[in-house]
Amino acid sequence: MHVVGRVWVGGIQERDRGGRGWILPASFGFPFKSDFETLLHHMLNRSTLLLYISPPDRRHDSGLADGKDHGVDLVGGYYDAGDYLKFTLPLAHSLAVLSWGGIEFFQGYVLANQTAYLRDTVKWGTDWLIKAHPQDNVLYVQVGDGAVDNNYWGPDTNIPIPRPSYYVDSSNHGTDVVAETAAALASASILFSTYLNDTTYAATLLSHAKTLFTFAELTPRQSYVSAVSAAKSYYSTNAYGDELAFAALWLYRATNSSTYLQKASDYFDQYSLAGLSAPMDWSDQTGSVYVLGAKLDPSNAKYAREAERYLDNLVGFNSPCTKTTGGMLWCTGFSDLNSLVPVQDTSLLALLYAPLNSQKNESYTSFALSQLDYLLGNNPMLTPYVVGVHPNSPQNPHHAGAAGGTDVSDINGSPPTELHVLYGAVVGGPAQTDSFNDIRNDWAQTEVALDYNAPFQGLVAYQIMHTTQNPAYVAITQPRPSSPRTTSGMATWKVAVIVVVVLLVLIGVALAVFIVRRRRSKISRIMIIVKRVTFSVHVHRESVNTSFSGWRGLRTIID
């Protein structure tokens, strides 16, 4: 079936109807469709006019005048989140992460029969990045005005105008976004040349990556929001050395030119990238530089040293991070607005680095899989934070097109029930208390975004490669609780033993006092008291067994 491609704001009601590789191979035995569904989420935010063989049945033409204010074609690409804005920085970051996971865990996509969707998803984004780079030293970095767009709640058929486009150039530089775009195109070139058998397109990607990197190295250097103030409230960074090093590493991997490897090392030192601990995200590639550098330049000890220091700190739940009661990584100052981003990005880096150190492989892998388990339902809310995979999945993701309403003053009730299901979309995530507020206007917990899903792709591809176990949500049979379930890490029998031991100690003390005071009392009186106390212990033990039976049932569901 041919449809005119545009923005997918709906979902698939019948997942085995047409398309390519919709269902995982039955022989694989892993009923985890989320990798496929995540790719559908990426298509959900597509923007273009294009004939495309595609499963989604609800898409419309949108953004067809994008770029016309500057005489360029910026139609297509992806909207960044639950709105209709386009930003180059988070898109480039998401594509780099998606390509990285595709390169390292490609066999997972093969097993899931999703390589064609991986190709299309990445290419949809890189095609737009190429269009956003119409001249050597020009890169368009934003389309749409946040002040206008964020006052609109409705379908993609009535996206408000004007939709101005913004760019950086050699006079008004944007070192960070230009370097990150170079990294995205270089990493994608490897995916296409080595794994997707399209060397012609890979060459085009690499050519743009090289030119962009040269552009990024121009001086004076600055963060792009210094040139494009319209982006400052949305995707602002205050550094660019990490992006320069990250791009240089990817260009080395794509070209095998030692010049880029040396540049990466030089930028690492020039911008003092050692000793940092912030979780990786669209604004900070330092952790990625550590891990990628350790893989590509093993003779340069600083990369592995920093990668292990960095991961040990995060995996060990050390400052600035800790662990919630339910077991989720929480990094103060980073998790507050989208808690599952540090969870996923750190987990992906841990899995990427684990094979490089046999002594730490198990701890890094265990951490990553425990966090993925949490995301998929092994948490106090019994909620897989992926839309559409379980009845307990988020029901009200913050997404204007999917909601189906038009009243920006009442987005929770417009309409009361989400009109379209965003299958595979990862939401922002729960609070530090492990609680989850499933309403649209709590955008920190319920909004969806490209960079929320990009690492999830790699995590799922890894899981498909290495296990035949079910994802955690398969075992969930209870409805989502109204507040986090308390699940002590101590086994029921251990608690019971502790209670009994305490009671026995109290018995001993009571007997000692009794003997001192009543040394001459008859032994029969002592025996009577002992029998009474023993009966009390028996009653307490029965009480313990009864009070913990519900918890034992919950542990059975969660584990």
Among 202, 203, 208, 145, residue whose Cα is nearest residue 178: 208
Active-site residue, from 336, 447, 451, 542:
447
- Evaluate the omega torsion of the peptide bond into residue 455 and state whether it is cis, within 30 degrees of 0: no
The amino acid that residue 129 corresponds to is L
Angle between helices 199-216 and 115-131 (to 10 degrees): 40
Among 540, 474, 472, residue whose Cα is nearest residue 501: 540
The DSSP code sequence of 156-207 is: GGG--S---EEEEESSS--HHHHHHHHHHHHHHHHIIIIIS--HHHHHHHHH
Angle between helices 340-353 and 301-315 (to 10 degrees): 140
- 80 is an active site residue: no
- 362 is an active site residue: no
Contact 476, 372 (CB under 8 A): no
Active-site residue, from 35, 438, 542, 559:
438
Contact 205, 185 (CB under 8 A): yes
Give CA separation, 518 vs 113, 290, 501, in Å: 81, 73, 25
Contact 453, 388 (CB under 8 A): no
Instruction: Quote the CA–CA distance of 46 and 6 in Å, as a whole number.
Output: 6
Radius of gyration of the chain (CA): 27
Residue matched to tokens 């909601």 = 403
Give the residue numbers annotated as catalytic, written as ranges.
438, 447
